[in-house]
Structure 1
Amino acid sequence: MQRNTSITLLSVGHACVDIYQGAVASLVPFFVAERAYSYAAVSGIVLAASLLSSVAQPVFGALTDRWAMPWLLPVGTLLGGLGIALSGLSGSYGLTLAFVAVSGVGVAAYHPESARVARLVSQGSHSAMSWFSVGGNLGFALAPLMVAAVVATGGLRLTPLLALPALAGVALCLPVLRALGRRQAAGAGTAVPAGDDDRASFVKLSLAVVCRSIVFVGLSAFISLYATQRMDGGSAAGPAALFVLYLGGAVGSVLGGSLANRWDRVTVCRWSYLITVGAVAGVVFVPGPALYAFVALTSAGLYVPFSLQVTLGQDYMPSRVGTASGITLGLAVSIGGLASPAIGSIADATSLRTALAPLILMPVLSWLFFRTLPEPSPKLSTSLEQGGPSSPRPGPVAHPKADAADAALASAGPDQR
């Protein structure tokens, strides 16, 4: 299988999985309308998906650093879809929390492995990694449209139809697993040292991603309701704002990869967060249709650093690529959901605008953390991992350039897809 084909399949499969991360926030207005949930109650639903995902992703990452688990791709995809599909069938708040938590675990199982194979297939290219991230952004962007098309027509009882993207995602990942399995059987790689872990820089990076996550998860949970209020209750205002929030992320991811090919990743991330400060302030305070422009700018500003932060985490921790991916894609990202109940409680007590105002400070903190981060050396940023199909992984593998792409893929286990 050609490298471009593998990246394409991974990107589209990533979109199928991340639809279910976006679907949780997209279902919030329907839970409020049909079940009369309060802001605090729907915040708890967002938290249920985020909390288990945030805890589970580093665990799955650590496990995949040690053993090959290619089955996590299809199983994680199916669980992500199953939880969302069942979330609308029961009027019980407890069961709804349980179902979205199942979806969160499925998403958690998928991401560390998908980040590993994207790193392998991309051959160290920031642009290729950004295209993989775009798949996830498009999944987020499609979520409100898909949920609105299904649930708005027949209510929450039609949520089982939302399982269809999961079936498509499984169909997309299986050929990649088979192709890499054949290549692994056809050749072997050579393990070489890739440098020491920079734990201090990794901790600072993770804290910056946590602050970014609080902004994005907070806006994801409440921008639909906020836009509806700001646009005088128009029924299309909320889904449109959520769509712009997610679609802007796709633009930001592609832009981030291109900018990182010209400047270093740390500089690109630093400037992106600085611009995002003003964008979030515009979302909260600027009235009228200009809201959508500031939502788009905020989304792009938050996603320019996204794929760059994943590769930075992997380069700061070259001996623990799976763990680093699990934390930067999972724990540090999903932990932003912990702030959602606080935002909901403040909104119930005051107003949604007042509750969203503190989000302006979060990109400021991310910028401060990036001010002291170093750019990893080229040796770390071009290292790739090797792993057998069922054995503990040896050290990182320094990959050749594009001419040896097939050789590098041949050395990868099926778990590296």
Structure 2
Amino acid sequence: MAAATNNMKTKTHNQTVYSILFIIGICHMLNDTLQAVIPAVFPILEESLGLTFTQLGLITFTLNMVASVMQPVVGMYTDKRPMPFALPLGLASSMVGIFGLAFAPNFWTILVSVLFIGLGSAIFHPEGSRVAYLAAGPRRGTAQSIYQVGGNSGQALAPVITALVLVPLGQFGVIWFTAVAGLAVIFLIYIARWYAAMTPTVVKKKQPEQKEKVDKNVSRAIRNALIVLIFIIFARTWYAKAISNFYAFYAIENYGMSIAESQFYIFTFLLMGAIGTFLGGPLADRFGKKNVILFSLLAAVPLALILPYASAIGAIILLGLLGLIVMSSFSVTVVYAQELIPGKIGTMSGLTVGLAFGMGAIGSVALGSLIDLIGLTPTMVAISLLPLLGIVTFLLPSDKKVREWHAER
């Protein structure tokens, strides 16, 4: 039996297990759909409970900060002690939060409910990324894209959730999403069993003296590369948040759109962003991760610069192209970080994805303050310069150099 299990592990590591990847991708979509419920319910809460915009901002900040700060912590712990059944437990936490949100009578109850949802997300993301890594075989970029596109698709559903569920049903309509969480828990119990079978017992061995010396020689270069990667994530996240959070107001102000019509602009950006996330991984497998990261920002520069001056129709086309291009590096940066520091799959996933959540929270506050300070149109012009920061990608080591470091370590 032990020999058969070992043979199954070896076979799995040498091939891509698409069935597991598609299931974990679906679970990622269900998890992020639960998160999308929170901003989607804002107009309902503002009207029914009389919440202020400051309170709504604090709810967003709480969700993003809990989800972002806890992700690398969970990742570091599970890198040392894998916990397959943390996946269904995390979604169970989100289910509790969704149930509480449906019945929450005041701001503080909402905040507690959001804490449960944020905690569930923090547990799910690094462990879900590890499952994608284990099922990837030689196609790590493709595997991570299948996993991440589920999450981006879930996030893109926020405008649809608002229009089709919450507007007719009100706050109580949130209760239907406990079924979404329950479905995810069922899927993740199956995933957890596969994960447990595929996870070997890690036995730490003393590294040879020569390898310790090599590690010291490359550690500074790896640290610098990680700093550059974090800066790239900052530029991409702030630009994406500026569009998803504030472009609807820009469309209303400049094109005379209604609230419902303005949501189509955001949905276009998010939907094409999900497609870009999916395409980024296979492109990275073929053309290299550094090249895709570089393309995702620098190719977006001319489109971003034109966007504030485009017509209503032209803006939709530009937003679709920007979502496709900018988000093509989302899954690629995760894989690049994982290969930069091998053996820290959960930590690197928690750091890169969690960092995106955290920077999104900070960016939302900072960009909102900038709009209050200089106005909406000048802010949209200013953020169009963010993709230019992608020029620092030239400072990243090549994929070949990262593989050489991996071999030395």
Match of 2:160 in 1: 145
Match of 2:397 in 1: 374
| Alignment partners' CA distance in 2, 1:88 and 1:238 | 26
Match of 2:31 in 1: 17
Match of 2:231 in 1: 207
| Alignment partners' CA distance in 2, 1:250 and 1:318 | 27
TM-score when normalising by structure 1: 0.81
- 1:371–1:41 CA distance, 2 compared to 1 (3 A): farther
Structure 1 position 4 matched with structure 2 position 18: yes
Asked whether the 8 Å contact 1:40–1:341 carries over to 2, the reply is no
Structure 1 stretches of 4+ moved >6 Å: 187-195, 381-384
| Same amino acid, percent of matched pairs | 26
| Alignment partners' CA distance in 2, 1:171 and 1:383 | 37
- What pairs with 1:156-235 in structure 2 (closer than 5 Å)? 156-182=171-197, 196=215, 198-235=222-259
Amino acid at match of 1:4: Y
- 1:19–1:88 CA distance, 2 compared to 1 (3 A): same
Asked whether the 8 Å contact 2:70–2:122 carries over to 1, the reply is yes
Amino acid at match of 1:161: W
Structure 1 position 111 matched with structure 2 position 134: no
Gaps of at least 5 residues in structure 2 are 1-11
| Alignment partners' CA distance in 2, 1:153 and 1:347 | 32
Structure 1 position 54 matched with structure 2 position 55: no
Asked whether the 8 Å contact 1:43–1:344 carries over to 2, the reply is no
Per the TM alignment, residue 57 of structure 1 is displaced from its structure 2 partner at its CA by 0.7
Amino acid at match of 1:375: S
Q: How much is the aligned-residue C-alpha RMSD, in angstroms?
A: 3.1
Structure 1 position 299 matched with structure 2 position 313: no
Per the TM alignment, residue 38 of structure 1 is displaced from its structure 2 partner at its CA by 5.5
| Alignment partners' CA distance in 1, 2:95 and 2:151 | 15
| Alignment partners' CA distance in 2, 1:145 and 1:214 | 23
Gaps of at least 5 residues in structure 1 are 385-395, 397-417
Match of 2:4 in 1: none
Aligned length: 382
Asked whether the 8 Å contact 2:298–2:391 carries over to 1, the reply is no
Q: 1:248 aligns with which of 258, 272, 275?
A: 272
RCO higher in 1 or 2 (8 Å CA, sep ≥ 6)? 1
Which structure is higher in helix share?
A: 2
- 1:218–1:349 CA distance, 2 compared to 1 (3 A): same
Per the TM alignment, residue 282 of structure 1 is displaced from its structure 2 partner at its CA by 4.2
Amino acid at match of 1:373: L
- 1:244–1:309 CA distance, 2 compared to 1 (3 A): same
Match of 2:3 in 1: none
Q: 1:287 aligns with which of 296, 311, 328?
A: 311
Asked whether the 8 Å contact 2:342–2:406 carries over to 1, the reply is yes
SS at match of 2:300: helix
Per the TM alignment, residue 119 of structure 1 is displaced from its structure 2 partner at its CA by 1.0
Per the TM alignment, residue 218 of structure 1 is displaced from its structure 2 partner at its CA by 3.2
| Alignment partners' CA distance in 2, 1:164 and 1:266 | 40
Match of 2:302 in 1: 278
| Alignment partners' CA distance in 2, 1:32 and 1:227 | 22
Per the TM alignment, residue 17 of structure 1 is displaced from its structure 2 partner at its CA by 0.8
CA deviation profile, 1:105-146 (whole Å, cap 9, x unmatched): 211111111111101101131223212221112211223313
TM-score when normalising by structure 2: 0.82
